[in-house]
Amino acid sequence: MAEVSILYNKERAVKLMNEAGVEGVIATTPENVQYITGIPLRTTSWNMQIYALLPKDESKKMAIIIPTNRLSVLSQKGIPDADVYVHGTFYLLGEPTDDITEDMEILVGLLKDRHVYNDALEALLAALSDKGYSNEALAIDEMRMSPTVMEGLKKQYAGKISYGYRLIRQIRLVKTQPEIERLRKVARLNEEGELLMIGMIKEGASEAELAQAYREFATRNNSITGMIAVGGGPRSSLPLIEEYLYSFKKGDLVRFDLCLQHNGYWADTGRTAVLGEPNAWQSKSFDAIYKGWEHALSMVKPGAVACDIFNSTMDVVLHSGIDVFKRQHVGHAIGLEIYDDIVIGPTDHSVIEENMVLNIEVPYYLLGSGGFQIEDTVVVTKDGWEFLTGAERKLFVC
Amino acid sequence: MAEVSILYNKERAVKLMNEAGVEGVIATTPENVQYITGIPLRTTSWNMQIYALLPKDESKKMAIIIPTNRLSVLSQKGIPDADVYVHGTFYLLGEPTDDITEDMEILVGLLKDRHVYNDALEALLAALSDKGYSNEALAIDEMRMSPTVMEGLKKQYAGKISYGYRLIRQIRLVKTQPEIERLRKVARLNEEGELLMIGMIKEGASEAELAQAYREFATRNNSITGMIAVGGGPRSSLPLIEEYLYSFKKGDLVRFDLCLQHNGYWADTGRTAVLGEPNAWQSKSFDAIYKGWEHALSMVKPGAVACDIFNSTMDVVLHSGIDVFKRQHVGHAIGLEIYDDIVIGPTDHSVIEENMVLNIEVPYYLLGSGGFQIEDTVVVTKDGWEFLTGAERKLFVC
């Protein structure tokens, strides 16, 4: 069986739970559940409820609350060091035979004498009771718990309940080594797909062909695509692209902004290319945003404040050859969600810490005239940062 | 621009809103939003809020509440006949040039003089006010509205608010013609992928190779995979498969249960194959579940009750050569979610109606010994049903 990676940051979890005055957190969104348990768990409708309870007291095991039929997924993905509570009827008949595979042996063990709760609330209340919770404060990821379960819990559990989606996202900001390795891997994969697309740019080639090549690249590499923004000519100035309508001609800019997920973790990287030699405006604009991007990076280190990085980067771009430049941000934290809990924008006062993983990007969209992108991923080090991306940082000439 | 398909069932929406005593519904989950608006809208974190408000009064246009940067997606996917309310800062600079594409022209129109609300709650309250709502009862899809927005709404809106996820799912049960065509298309695609995998079964071939071929088939066909259960030998008895660990040998059963999404709609179909001639137990077991499946189908028609179909099908299987047979259901409604709002099980008293789309399945899992699947999709007609699937319904011999 695959060993389950421990993804979550134990030390930070305890620290932030202490600061929030809670004795445990309950994850409900797939990303938060994967963060706590180490494994992905799929649902087939919004009614299906899957939770992970992480006690602050490290001597207590975590609890996983899942529908009974998800036990076979647990047994295949590897069981975290957790107590498992199942809800809902599911039948699996027969006695195991000698030739069953290892995951099936684990499944048999999981099924044996296990109590099946009627629903997710009952299973969750049992888990809380078994873990010794009676009137302790708990933070609950409010984004994927059915409101009727949440109301039932508030009625039947004596302790104070606060919302915990943001708390778990705050814990998630400082990455552990297994997370950094996953983020490095997916960043590199994403760039490989991007370079494949850049290599396909020629007169008459289309956005659609490039996007499809990227999708097929992702599938070959056991990855899932998010936004695939590939815009040529006037469409290079469109931030989000989900339909592909344009074929390239000489002189066109082609802007890329690509989101890829592998093993639960996201990459979001971007480059700009030009078909033929760039004209003066294209070169000047790229140079300006490159200077801004370089400046943003130069400010990244522990102790830096997100909005300071933003404000100072905007100044640099506006003094580098672009007259009108407005942005809502110049980057964001990334991890199990494309947008983790820091946005490097004017109102975010988050303080950067070691082992945060940040996307630094300075896109420039001039409606119709063209668009530029440079976006890289870095991990914050003790006194600066280190790239997780590696592709050349230039205006690609095709 | 692509014409936007009207997916939702207007007549049923009005009828069920009348029965529920509400003057409008607000969709929040991606599936419900796509149902109302006709288009898919992607998010990048759980904080991002996207809603669609459907008034019961058909003289009022629907409203879409989205982040400002999603306007470019609306303009690419085609604008439904809706009023659009945007929230959150997003900058797009410059004057449009002559050579912009049609979607960009639409985007320029959408951006022009548009008020930008600070957040989703403000935008939603404005939409409600513009549509003339002040103290009318509303049903709100509770599954993907941030609880803080929900609480704000409950505080600031004078009308009665009830939960609406189930109500919209109930509306969704009776499909419109464009939905039936999408479901037919994805069912056929899914079977094409399944037959491709069945064609690959031979000694030494692996579950992993077949699953990867199916993934690549999906990507070539602009589709997204859900569960890909392909289990060989002892693993054919595993209901859910997400890791592929087995290579086939002579005499093995191979069980398929495959979920595919195309254009928002799901297929979920299954077959069973055997490598070499089936032995007596394999043949007998397949015949028994086939008889059950055939019986379940024979009961499908308007007026039938879900639990009656279930109970009677269980009886038939138990009198057809299988001694021990337990199931939690023998099928379910399907559409924008793999499990729509009917489960053909012992406690579901739903009454079947014309144009519902149902999956009828009678799987049999005998731990280690082997597993069997037969699962097809039908649309309910005036006096019976019609297949949306088309692959041969037999124990495939490879």
DSSP state of B101: -
Q: What is the pLDDT of residues A146-168, one digit of tens each?
A: 999 999 999 999 999 999 999 99
CB of A90 less than 8 A from some CB of B: yes
Q: How many Å lie between the alpha carbon of A268 and the closest alpha carbon of chain B?
A: 11
Q: How many Å lie between the alpha carbon of B106 and the closest alpha carbon of chain A?
A: 12
Contact A192, A217 (CB under 8 A): yes
Contact A209, A200 (CB under 8 A): yes
**Superfamily, domain A177-397:** Creatinase/methionine aminopeptidase superfamily (3.90.230.10)
Chain A residues with CB under 8 Å of B98 CB are 368
ipTM of the complex: 0.96
Q: Cα separation of B84 and B81, whole Å? A: 10
Q: How many Å lie between the alpha carbon of A142 and the closest alpha carbon of chain B?
A: 7
Burial tier of A218 (Cβ tally within 10 Å: 0-12, 13-18, 19+): buried
From the CB of residue B386, how many other CB atoms can be counted at a distance below 10 Å? 10
**Residue A95 binned pLDDT confidence (cut-offs 50, 70, 90):** confident
Please give the pLDDT value at position B79: 85
Shortest CA distance from A214: residue in chain B:
B219
Q: With CB atoms and an 8 Å threshold, state whether A96 touches B245.
A: no
CB of B76 less than 8 A from some CB of A: yes
Q: Which of A70, A92, A236 to mutate to test the interface with B (most CBs of B within 10 A)?
A: A92
CB of B134 less than 8 A from some CB of A: no
Chain A residues with CB under 8 Å of B153 CB are none
Q: How far is CA A160 from CA A21, A28, A41, A127, A132, in A?
A: 10, 18, 28, 17, 15
Q: For residue A3, is pLDDT > 80?
A: no
CB contacts < 8 A, A to B, total 215
And the tokens for B291? 């008889």
Rounded to 10 deg, the angle between the A306-318 and A280-299 helix axes is 150
Please give the pLDDT value at position B113: 87
CA angle B372, B373, B376 (to 5 degrees): 160
Q: What is the pLDDT of residues A96-114, one digit of tens each?
A: 888 888 999 999 999 888 9
Which residues between 181 and 210 in chain A have a beta carbon less than 8 angstroms from any beta carbon of chain B? none
Phi-psi region of A165 (alpha: psi -120 to 50; beta: other; left: phi over 0): alpha
What are the helix and strand counts (H, E) for chain B?
A: 11, 17
Please give the pLDDT value at position A11: 97
Q: With CB atoms and an 8 Å threshold, state whether A76 touches B103.
A: no
Q: With CB atoms and an 8 Å threshold, state whether A337 touches B150.
A: no
Contact A230, A241 (CB under 8 A): yes
Contacts of A63 (CB under 8 A, 6+ apart): A52, A53, A82, A83, A84, A85, A127, A130, A131
Provide the CA B374 distance to its chain's centre, in angstroms. 19
Q: With CB atoms and an 8 Å threshold, state whether A339 touches B89.
A: no
Burial tier of B97 (Cβ tally within 10 Å: 0-12, 13-18, 19+): middle
CB of A87 less than 8 A from some CB of B: no
- E strands in chain A: 24-27, 51-55, 62-67, 82-87, 116-117, 138-140, 161-163, 224-232, 253-262, 265-274, 331-333, 357-361, 364-366, 370-372, 375-380, 385-387, 395-397
Q: Cα separation of A267 and A382, whole Å? A: 23
- E strands in B171-264: 224-232, 253-262
Percent of chain A at pLDDT > 90 equals 91
Chain B residues with CB under 8 Å of A76 CB are 241-243, 245
CB-nearest to A367 from B69, B95, B324 is: B95
Please give the pLDDT value at position B321: 86
CB of A266 less than 8 A from some CB of B: no
Which positions of chain B have pLDDT values less than 50?
none
Please give the pLDDT value at position A2: 58
Q: With CB atoms and an 8 Å threshold, state whether B238 touches A72.
A: yes
Q: How many Å lie between the alpha carbon of A59 and the closest alpha carbon of chain B?
A: 31
Chain A residues with CB under 8 Å of B255 CB are none
> Which amino acid is located at A14 in the chain?
V
CB of A154 less than 8 A from some CB of B: no
Please give the pLDDT value at position B2: 58
Q: What is the pLDDT of residues A177-188, one digit of tens each?
A: 999 999 999 999
User: What predicted TM-score, i.e. pTM, was given to this entire model?
Assistant: 0.97
Chain A residues with CB under 8 Å of B327 CB are 91
CA angle B64, A144, B164 (to 5 degrees): 50
Of B10, B347, B397, nearest to B177 by C-alpha is: B10
Q: How many Å lie between the alpha carbon of A298 and the closest alpha carbon of chain B?
A: 25
Of B257, B299, B258, B256, nearest to B274 by C-alpha is: B256
Contact A344, A309 (CB under 8 A): yes
Chain B residues with CB under 8 Å of A325 CB are 93
Chain B residues with CB under 8 Å of A237 CB are 92, 94, 104
Q: With CB atoms and an 8 Å threshold, state whether A150 touches B146.
A: no
Beta strands B265-274; B395-397: pairing state:
parallel
Chain B residues with CB under 8 Å of A94 CB are 237, 324, 365-369
Q: For residue A57, is pLDDT > 90?
A: yes
Domain boundaries, chain B: 10-173, 177-397
Query: Which residue reads 């495959």 in tokens?
Result: B258
Please give the pLDDT value at position A113: 87
**Same fold: A10-173 with A177-397:** no
CB of A30 less than 8 A from some CB of B: no
Chain B residues with CB under 8 Å of A4 CB are none
Q: Which of B29, B39, B45 to mutate to test the interface with A (most CBs of A within 10 A)?
A: B45
CB of B94 less than 8 A from some CB of A: yes
- Check if CATH label 3.40.50.300 holds for domain B10-173: no
Q: Cα separation of B31 and B141, whole Å? A: 11
Q: Which of A242, A318, A375 to mutate to test the interface with B (most CBs of B within 10 A)?
A: A242
CB of A367 less than 8 A from some CB of B: yes
Of A229, A252, A269, nearest to A359 by C-alpha is: A269
CB of A93 less than 8 A from some CB of B: yes
Contact A235, A248 (CB under 8 A): no
Q: Cα separation of A57 and A80, whole Å? A: 17
Q: For residue A244, is pLDDT > 90?
A: yes
